[in-house]
């Protein structure tokens, strides 16, 4: 299985990037992170979201399962998240794409494309931390699926 993370904004060299790199190194699944920026963003939030959606949707490979990270999404336990990924892998899905939108959130077209819309709780999280949390949860999902002792119930 391959993991693709599509995210708006650049982490640059930072503590958050170091943490993301650490979890990605631990993952046995290939994990590619693509960062996007728009040089001339639109003046309204709705137009900015539409600009971002165009770039995000174009970067999704055919046949990939899409998970959109969005505050209106579903909250899953780590175990259920792992079971979902394992189930999709067993169905023959070879690529899972995670989408993290910009500061204004995701356009409706991106949410419609998603097989699952996921949230990390009801709090608002900085995008830098969301990437850390996502890569950690991917590593945790792998550890649960393989019986690795990293995750403890």
CATH for the stretch 2-146: 3.40.1280.10
Q: What is the mean pLDDT of residues 130-139?
A: 97
pLDDT at 87: 96
* Domain residue ranges in the chain: 2-146
Q: Express as a percent the part of the chain with pLDDT over 70.
A: 100
For 127, other C-beta atoms within 10 Å of its C-beta total 16
Cα–Cα dist 73/118, whole Å: 4
Band of residue 61 on the pLDDT scale cut at 50, 70, 90: very high
Q: What is the mean pLDDT of residues 16-32?
A: 97
Band of residue 153 on the pLDDT scale cut at 50, 70, 90: confident
The residues that bridge with 89 in the sheet, in sequence order, are none
- Residue 48 near residue 104, CB atoms below 8 Å: yes
Band of residue 80 on the pLDDT scale cut at 50, 70, 90: very high
pLDDT at 33: 97
pLDDT at 51: 95
Cα–Cα dist 42/50, whole Å: 9
């Amino acid at each position: 299985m391959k993991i693709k993370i599509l995210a708006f904004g650049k982490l640059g060299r930072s503590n958050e990037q170091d943490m993301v790199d650490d979890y990605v190194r631990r993952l046995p699944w290939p994990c590619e992170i693509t960062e996007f920026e728009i040089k001339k963003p639109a003046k309204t939030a709705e137009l900015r979201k539409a600009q971002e959606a165009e770039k995000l949707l174009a970067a999704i490979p055919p046949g990939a399962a899409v998970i959109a990270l969005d505050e209106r999404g579903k909250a899953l336990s780590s175990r259920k998240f792992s079971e979902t990924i394992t189930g999709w892998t067993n169905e023959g899905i070879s690529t899972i794409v995670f989408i993290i939108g910009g500061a204004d959130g995701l356009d409706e077209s991106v949410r419609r494309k998603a097989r699952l819309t996921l949230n990390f709780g009801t709090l608002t999280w900085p995008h830098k931390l969301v990437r850390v949390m996502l890569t950690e949860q991917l590593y945790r999902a792998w550890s649960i699926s393989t019986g690795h002792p990293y995750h403890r119930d």
